[in-house]
Structure 1
């Protein structure tokens, strides 16, 4: 019998094919040796995992909706709290305006003086807006506002020391000197003392004005 000689490339392919057949036979043998119940159990486990994954995906929209509802409720509570705070501030401003107006009437303070005194009640951004408004008026040659009812007094929490300091800062030099001379230590006493002070600069004596 004549033995055929194959080229080297063909021999290599035959060897690789034989090795692949051997591996396939080994895997088939393992599969045949594995009980069918074990294979069925593996498919069941895989099916359960797929179902759980699908359930988790379906729950995502409900979770997002729940979070949105919770955030909306929190926003509503925050809005109500801000509204209550603004209402309290508006009441405080109204009370202060009435008290200041009454005090100015008793002291016979002119409207222009009232406007100049308003800045002592302002702090922070409110005082900055006030100064900016006054600067704009001066730049436009409008002068100062002379109608007290249009003054928007913005009140912030202030300590008694800050109130006294702002009150003193808005007074004339001779008023400050007199209050310091009398040892004024709080705002109520400073207001009472300031009401009792008399500015002689505008009083005429025998046809001449005291300066």
Structure 2
């Protein structure tokens, strides 16, 4: 029989609260473990999981898009990129790009590549200058970028007039970037960048 309701009940109450405290600590510990696992997964994804090639799509007649592409290709030197860009210079008054069809054979011969597998595109980075159209007598804008696009048929890239028709150029697919800078075979203020088409299957292997 209890003495005034004290002696026998007190140990029971202490044991109940003690168990509750243990459960609370266990829940807190479990939450910490979950947070650590989530943080570890985030770090792994950020540094070790491949996000695939850098990508860019857009209209190169816009100087902003041309600058963005030139910047991307500098950053991705030696890597594969996916492009879906087009240049239809005849559709706007001051295009920031041009398909240099009149210079292609000259450059293809210099580079010793088949003309049918080589395309030359100029990107202007100065909004005050539009690349000269083929046959105009001028070679290029100051500080322009020449894209030397090499496209073997088996790579599966699209490098042609596309839906825009004659005079336009579409470049769509995977390409390995080669930043070549200044070359003795091109005007001295030009930057030269190689784009070599690679198949989607080859990209997937890597």
TM-score bracket, shorter-length normalisation = 0.3 to 0.5
TM-score (norm 2): 0.33
TM-score (norm 1): 0.33
In terms of fraction of residues, the more strand-rich structure is: 2
Structure with greater Cα Rg? 1
